[in-house]
Amino acid sequence: MQPSSSKQLDSKTQLIRCPACGHSQVESRWALSTICKKCFHYIGLATKKNSVPFFPSVPSKTREITCPYCQNSQKIYAQALSVGCAFCGAYLYVENLCLKGKIKRKISTLGDIDFEAGSEYAGATVQGRKIRIRGIMQCSFKATEEVEFCSQSVVKGIVVAPRVIVNRFASAKVKEVIAYELTVKGQLECETIIARDFLKIESFGMITTKKMLTNRLVAELFSRLEADFETYSLLARDIQKNGIELGEERLFLT
C-alpha cells in the first residue's frame, strides 16, 4: 500500500499506520506524536532503534483538552507539549507548567499550571486548565476548569474559572472572583465575589468581601462571613452573559 502523503520515505522519515483506521502515512523519524490524516486519530510515536516499520498504539495515559478555537474536545498523550487540533487544525500548546521564583515570561497553556510557594509574577492574564496559586501575582487568572489557592496568596487582578477553591489553612487576597462554584475552606479576602451556582464556606472558613452575588449560600458551623450580599433564585440572562460567561462587564451590588 502506498502512503497517501506528499513526503517520501528516506533515512529521515518513517512509515506509520493508524491503529484506528489502518491508514498509512509518512512522518519524520524523530516525531513524538502525530494525527492521522484520514480519521484524525491521535498517534503516539516511540523512538525506534531499527528501520523496521513501527505501528504504534494509543498511549495508555491520556488527558482530554478542549480547543479554544472550535470548542471540540480530544484526548492527547499525558506528557504532550503541543498538539494540533484534530478538528480545526489549530496549533495548541498543552504543556503542564510548574513555576517558581520570579516569573517574567507570558504564561498561557491548555495544560495545568502550578505556582510554587514564594512565586512572583506580573504581566498578562495567566491562562490554563487547572491553576494552583501560591505567592504574589500582579495579574488576572482565567482557567477552563479550576483555580485553587494552596497557601498564602495575593492576586491583584480578577480570577475567572468554573470552580474556585481556597484550601484549608490557605489565605488568599483577591481583587475579584467570578465562578460557577466557590468553596472556601481557609480565608478569602475579596472586593467582589460572583458565584453563579453556589458559594460554600466550610467549617472554620472565612470570607471578607464588600460585594457578593450568589445563587445559593451554604455556611457550615463555625464559618464566618463579612459581606454586603444578596441571593437570587434565578440569575437574569444579562447577568449570566456579562458577569459570568464573558467576564468583560462587572455586576456590582449596592
Give 139-185 pLDDT, tens digit per residue: 999 999 999 999 889 999 999 999 999 999 999 999 999 999 999 99
| Weakest mean pLDDT among 78-87, 152-161, 232-241 | 232-241
Share above pLDDT 90 across residues of the chain, in percent, rounded to a whole number: 45
Residue 50, SS3 per DSSP:
coil
Res. 62: pLDDT tops 50: yes
Residue-level pLDDT at 7: 59
Residue 57 lies in a domain: no
Do 154 and 201 reside in the same domain of the chain? yes
Residue 164 lies in a domain: yes
- Residue 148 or residue 245, greater confidence: 148
Quote the Cα angle for 234-240-245, to 5°.
145
| pLDDT level of residue 52 (50, 70, 90 thresholds) | very low
Res. 240: pLDDT tops 80: no
Res. 233: pLDDT tops 50: no
For 64-102, give one letter per residue: b (16+ CB within 10 A) or e: ebbbeeeeeebebbebbeebbbbeeeeebebebbebeee
Do 111 and 229 reside in the same domain of the chain? yes
Do 189 and 161 reside in the same domain of the chain? yes
Residue 131 lies in a domain: yes
Res. 241: pLDDT tops 70: no
Do 139 and 218 reside in the same domain of the chain? yes
Do 87 and 104 reside in the same domain of the chain? no
Do 180 and 230 reside in the same domain of the chain? yes
Do 104 and 88 reside in the same domain of the chain? no
Residue-level pLDDT at 78: 81
The predicted-structure confidence for 91-147, as pLDDT tens digits, reads as follows 889 999 999 999 999 999 999 999 999 999 999 999 999 999 999 999 999 999 999
Which residues are CB-neighbours of 241 under 8 A, at least 6 positions away? Answer: none
Do 101 and 173 reside in the same domain of the chain? yes
Residue 242, SS3 per DSSP:
helix
Residue 250 lies in a domain: no
Residue-level pLDDT at 251: 32
Share above pLDDT 70 across residues of the chain, in percent, rounded to a whole number: 80
Q: Residue 202 in contact with residue 183, Cβ under 8 Å?
A: yes
Do 108 and 87 reside in the same domain of the chain? no
Do 110 and 155 reside in the same domain of the chain? yes
Residue 254 lies in a domain: no
Residue 157 lies in a domain: yes
Do 71 and 187 reside in the same domain of the chain? no
Residue-level pLDDT at 247: 31
Residue 200, SS3 per DSSP:
strand
Q: What domain range includes position 83?
A: 62-93
Res. 66: pLDDT tops 80: yes
Residue 235 lies in a domain: yes
Residue-level pLDDT at 46: 55
